[in-house]
Amino acid sequence: MSDYRVTEKNGRGVQDAINAAFAAGGGRVVLEPGVYPCGTIYLKSRVELHLEAGAKLQGSSRPEDYDDVCDPAFDSVAPENSRKVLLAALRCSEIAVTGAGEINGAGPEFYDRNVPDGSFFAKPPHPRPRMVQFYGCRKVRIDGISFVDSPGWTFWLMGCEDVRIHGIRVEGCQQMINNDGIDIDDCRRVTVSDSFFRTGDDCLVLRAIRKTPDHHAVCSEVVVTNCVLDSWCQAIRVGCPSDDTICDCVFSNLVIKGSGNGIHINNPKRYLRPGCGGYLYLDRILFSGITMECGRVPVWVNVEEGVKLRHLGGVTFSNLRIDAAEPCRLEGCPETWIEDIRFHEVVGVSRSPETFVARYCRGLVQEQTRWTSSPRE
C-alpha cells in the first residue's frame, strides 16, 4: 500500500489524506515532524495513521471544533456529558495508529484550574472530548504513540475485536478527572503490552456495558502485560454492577504505583443504571506478577448491600508484592457473596492496623501468603 504524506499541517490536510488512502483501497498516512492543529479526525478501514518522531496531532481547546460522534446502535454521552471525540473510527477494519509522535488533547484547557494545589480541577459546563473512540472495529493496531492530556477518557474501545496495543505512553495531568487511560468495553481478544500510564482517573478499565436492555455484552480474552500504571484513583478497575459479562482476562508483570487504589472491582449502588438492581457476571480473572505501592487499598473487591449480581468470583491473585496504606478488602453483601477468590504467593504490608478484611466470602483460599501491619510513625 502507498504512503500518503500530509503536506498541509492541519486537520483538514490529515483528513483529506485519510480519505484518499481509503478511496484507493488502503494506505499509510504519514505525518512529518511538526504540529497539526485539528478537531475531529475520522480513521477509515485499511488506513494506518503514522506519526513520525516530532509530529504532533494537536487537538483544539475549543469544544465547538469537535464533532458529536455516535452510531445508531449506541449513542452515549457518558461519562463526560459529551459525544465529542478527537480520533474516531466507526465499524472499521484493519486500522492502525503508529509511530513515535504524539497526539495531544489540550486537556487542562477544558477545566477550571482555579483550585487548591493538589486538588482535582473543577469540571466545566461545556463538553470535553474523548481522545480516541473506536466502535465496532476489527483488527486494530496502536503502536508507539504518546497520548498526552486527553480532556476525557483517553481511549474508549467499544465492541471491538482483535486489538493490539503496544509500546504506547498515556500521560494526563493527574489533576484532571475522567481522563481514564484505556476503557475496554464489550471487546474480545485485546492485548495491551509494554506501555506506560499516568492518569488522574483509572489507568485501565474493563467494562461490558449493555447498550440496550436486550444487548448481550461480553468483555473477554483481554491480556495486559509488562506495563507501569500510576493513578490518583485506580490503576485497574474491572466492571460496574449493571454490566453484563467479564471473563477470561489476565493482568501480568505490572508495576502499580500512585496515591490511589491498586486493583478495584467496585459495585456500589450509585453505579447502577436506572431500574437495575445489579447484573454483572464476573469470572476467571487472573492477576499475576504484580509489584504494587499505592496510597489507598491495594486489592478491593466490594458489593454494596442491596446490589444483587449474577456472579462475582473466580479471581486469582498470584505472586504479588504489596506495600499500601490500607489492607486488602473483600467485601460482599447478603445479596451477593464473593466466591472462589485465591491468593497465592502474596506478601503484603499494610500501613494500617488491619492487614486483610473479608466478609460475605465463600471459597477464599490463601496459600503462601504473608500479611504484615507496619503503621508509619
pLDDT at residue 83, as a whole number: 93
Residues 323-337: what's their mean pLDDT?
A: 97
Instruction: Give the distance from CA 169 to its chain's centroid.
Output: 13
Residues 57-80: what's their mean pLDDT?
A: 87
pLDDT at residue 212, as a whole number: 79
Band (75; pLDDT cuts 50, 70, 90) = confident
pLDDT at residue 113, as a whole number: 93
Q: Is the pLDDT of residue 164 over 70?
A: yes
27-56 pLDDT per residue, tens: 999 999 999 999 999 999 999 999 999 999
Distance, in Å, from the CA atom of 110 to the CA atom of 12, rounded to the nearest integer, reads 23
217-252 pLDDT per residue, tens: 999 999 999 999 999 999 999 999 999 999 999 999
CB 132 within 8 A of CB 87: yes
Report percent pLDDT > 70 for the chain: 98
- Torsion, Cα 224 226 230 233, to 10 degrees, reads 20
Band (125; pLDDT cuts 50, 70, 90) = confident
pLDDT at residue 77, as a whole number: 67
Distance, in Å, from the CA atom of 324 to the CA atom of 349, rounded to the nearest integer, reads 6
Chain mean pLDDT for the chain? 95
pLDDT at residue 374, as a whole number: 85
pLDDT at residue 252, as a whole number: 98
pTM of the model: 0.97
Q: 12: left (phi > 0), else alpha (psi -120 to 50), else beta?
A: alpha
262-309 pLDDT per residue, tens: 999 999 999 999 999 999 999 999 999 999 999 999 999 999 999 999
Band (317; pLDDT cuts 50, 70, 90) = very high
Q: CB neighbours (10 Å) of residue 354? A: 12
pLDDT at residue 13, as a whole number: 98
pLDDT at residue 211, as a whole number: 84
174-216 pLDDT per residue, tens: 999 899 999 999 999 999 999 999 999 999 999 999 987 788 9
Band (377; pLDDT cuts 50, 70, 90) = low
Q: At a CB cut-off of 8 Å and minimum separation 6, what does 273 contact?
A: 242
Dig out the grid coordinates for 201 from the structure.
482517573
Of 9, 12, 44, 41, nearest in space to 27 by CA: 44
Q: At a CB cut-off of 8 Å and minimum separation 6, what does 24 contact?
A: 2
Distance, in Å, from the CA atom of 287 to the CA atom of 256, rounded to the nearest integer, reads 12
Cis peptide bond N-terminal to 79, omega within 30: yes
Using alpha carbons only, what angle is made at residue 207 by residues 204 and 210, rounded to the nearest 5 degrees? 160
Residues in the chain: 377
